[in-house]
Amino acid sequence: MSKVSLAVNGKEITADVEDRTLLVHFLRDVANLTATNVGCETTSCGACTVLLDGESVKSCTVLAAQADGREVTTLEGLAAEHGEMSAVQKAFHENHGLQCGFCTLHPRLRDGDHVAAEGEPVADGGGGALRPGGQHLPLHRLPQHRECGPGRSGGGQVIPPSFTYRRASSVDEALDLAAELGEDAKFLAGGHSLLPLMKLRFASPEYLIDLGRITELSYIRDEGTYVAVGALTRHHDVNTSELLASEIPLLAHAAGQVGDPQIRHRGTIGGSLAHADPAADLPMALTALGGSVELRGPGGTRRVDAADFFTGFFETALAPEEILTAVRVPRRPGVGWGYQKFVRRANDWAIVGVAAIDGRIALANMGPVPLRASAAEHALGSGASAAEAADLAADGTSPGEDMHADQAFRQHLARVLTRRALVQAQTQPA
Ligand SMILES: Cc1cc2nc3c(=O)[nH]c(=O)nc-3n(C[C@H](O)[C@H](O)[C@H](O)COP(=O)(O)OP(=O)(O)OC[C@H]3O[C@@H](n4cnc5c(N)ncnc54)[C@H](O)[C@@H]3O)c2cc1C
Ligand code: FES
């Protein structure tokens, strides 16, 4: 159990909760603020969005313990403060903004210009409420409006398996905890890869060591020939860094391609690299840029090039009890670059991705690790055109197949996206 204190809509709320309690359930079940909904349970729909210290996050993928001591604003809090729709809500309302549909269900949108006092939209038995424009909203899709109650199969919440939560406030403390707790412990950074995996029971560590409060690991620093980025630096901060925008714009751009704003407010560069998803943006960007990572463990600190860091499908050179502390990326001011990502939905991982800079080409989701398109790079070096080099982009690759693409389609995408990235690198101002 953890004692969690939150300032919710300006009111202090403290409760002893199970360590695995998600923020959304704390808000709904402890604070009784039910405008924060559970829709997809998979960090996609945004129905659970709240403001954490003023920034939007998906509360289905934040532990209540991670939010301890912070300020949370829910939809009820916005209504109390302003009494009218925010600019974003207004724009959604007026322009029929819609992604998957869950996001339009908040009561303030349902009721048009009227602000609902509090609580849930009223279920209407399947037809949906009539918006001012006459269009039905699918209220019946909310889990709490299904006959079987919340959850997909008769009432269960999708929550992680039990674990013990420990919080570290320094790298030394995290290393000590890792040594004490052994192989049953896992580090938790933004939690936007680990918590979804735990909810699906693909991971069930006995202990989570939360690195999220280690402020010494959140920075972006000019170090002469390279820029150093602390491992706990969030995607949002990498994306909006002025230093990176001028010195390594490809990296800033790649961070802006991760998920959606809520995900970028939580996920970290170190977490993304340590997770080593071959479809992810930052491993591909680091590979294209020839960067390296700094790893700290009981035996000291070592540096590993990106080329040697990703060792297999979701596998890295990180040893047990080692923490990824920093990322080093060579400066590339004024060098043309291209970045292409083919996705099915806006906040998805790449079905195939390509990052190109200075004759280097990296591919995402074309193998178990981020790959260099070596044949295309050699052709470029020998004077081939972008189109000629791009024709070789898939040479030597053997990408996996899934519901989105078979191997031949992925190889086709690699060629097309590489051509686009190379043309982009030649033409866009750096
Ligand atoms: C809906 C959704 C869409 C997404 N879309 C994209 C996308 O388009 N592109 C993309 O690249 N990513 C995407 N992601 C992943 C997201 O970027 C994650 O934030 C990121 O992959 C992991 O970072 P994190 O800080 O959340 O790590 P966590 O989830 O906290 O940790 C991930 C793993 O890394 C380990 N770890 C974390 N930090 C360290 C460290 N400093 N040292 C050692 N080990 C560590 C953890 O133990 C865990 O095994 C998406 C995620 C979701 C949920
Ligand atoms: S419930 Fe869909 S993103 Fe949280």
Q: With respect to residue 156, please indicate whether it lies within any of the assigned structural domains.
A: no
Question: What is residue 78's predicted lDDT score, i.e. its pLDDT?
Answer: 78
Ligand 2 close to Cβ of residue 103 (< 6 A): no
Give the mutation target among 40, 142, 264 for probing the ligand 2 site: most ligand atoms within 8 A of CB: 40
Ligand number, closest to the Cα atom of 22: 2
Residues 203 and 284 in one domain: no
Residues 292 and 206 in one domain: no
Beta carbon of 76 within 6 Å of any ligand 2 atom: no
Task: Residue 176: give its domain's CATH number.
Answer: 3.30.43.10
Ligand located closest to 56 CA: 2
Whether residue 57 lies inside any domain: the answer is yes
Q: Tell me how far the alpha carbon of residue 266 lies from the centroid of ligand 1, in angstroms.
A: 9
Q: Do 53 and 136 belong to one domain?
A: yes
What is the SS3 string spanning the chain? CEEEEEEECCEEEEEEECCCCEHHHHHHHHCCCCCCCCCCCCCCCCCCEEEECCEEEEHHHCECHHHCCCEEECHHHHHHHHCCCCHHHHHHHHHCCCCCCHHHHCHHHHCCCCCCCCCCCCCCCCCCCECCCCCECCHHHCHHHCCCCCCCCCCCCCCCCCCEEEECCCHHHHHHHHHHHHHHEEEECCCCCHHHHHHCCCCCCCEEEECCCCHHHCCEEECCCEEEEECCCEHHHHHCCHHHHHHCHHHHHHHHCCCCHHHHCCCEHHHHHHHCCCCCHHHHHHHHHCCEEEEEECCEEEEEEHHHHEEECCEECCCCCCEEEEEEEECCCCCCEEEEEECCCCCCCCCEEEEEECCEEEEECCCCCCEECHHHHHHHHCCCCHHHHHCCCCCCCCCCCCCCCCHHHHHHHHHHHHHHHHHHHHHCCC
Asked whether residue 313 is domain-assigned, the answer is yes
pLDDT at 146 (0 to 100): 39
pLDDT given for residue 36 in this prediction: 87
Asked if 176 and 291 sit in the same domain, the reply is: no
Distance in Å, CA 216 to ligand 2 centroid: 30
Provide the CATH number for the domain around residue 83: 3.10.20.30
- Measure 144 CA to ligand 2 centroid, in angstroms: 13
Tell me: do 228 and 246 sit in the same domain: yes
Question: Which atom of ligand 1 is the closest one to the Cα of 234?
Answer: 25
In a domain, 155, yes or no: no
Single out the residue in 153, 184, 210 at which a domain terminates.
Answer: 210
Among 43, 106, 157, 265, name the best residue to mutate to test ligand 2's pocket (greatest count of ligand atoms within 8 A of Cβ): 43
Which residues does a 6 A CB cutoff place in the pocket of ligand 1? 43-44, 186-194, 196, 211, 231, 258-259, 263, 267-268, 270-272, 274-275, 280-282, 318, 323-324, 347-349
Walking along the chain (430 residues) 10 residues at a time, the average pLDDT comes out as 95 97 96 87 88 94 98 83 65 58 42 40 34 32 38 60 97 97 96 96 96 97 97 98 98 97 96 98 98 96 98 96 97 96 90 98 98 98 97 96 95 98 85
User: Is 88 found in the same domain as 17?
Assistant: yes
- Cα(191) to centroid(ligand 1), Å: 6
Span from the CA of 178 to the centroid of ligand 1 (angstroms): 19
Nearest-CA residue for ligand 1 atom 39 is 271
- CATH number, position 318: 3.30.465.10
Q: Could you tell me if 288 and 229 lie in one domain?
A: yes
Q: Is residue 150 part of a domain?
A: no
* Structural domain of 202: 164-210
Within a domain: residue 157? no
User: Residue 152 C-alpha to ligand 2 middle, in angstroms?
Assistant: 13
Domain co-membership, 374 together with 317: no
Are both 39 and 65 inside the same structural domain?
A: yes
The tally of domains found in the chain comes to: 4
Q: Which of 210, 225, 243 is the last residue of a domain?
A: 210
The reply to whether 320 and 346 lie within a common domain is no
136 with 185, same domain: the answer is no
Ligand whose nearest atom lies closest to the CA of 27: 2
The CA 104 to ligand 2 mean position distance, Å, reads 13
Of the residues 296, 330, 364, which one is the last residue of a structural domain?
A: 330
Residue 121 lies in a domain: yes
Same domain membership, residue 8 and residue 138: yes
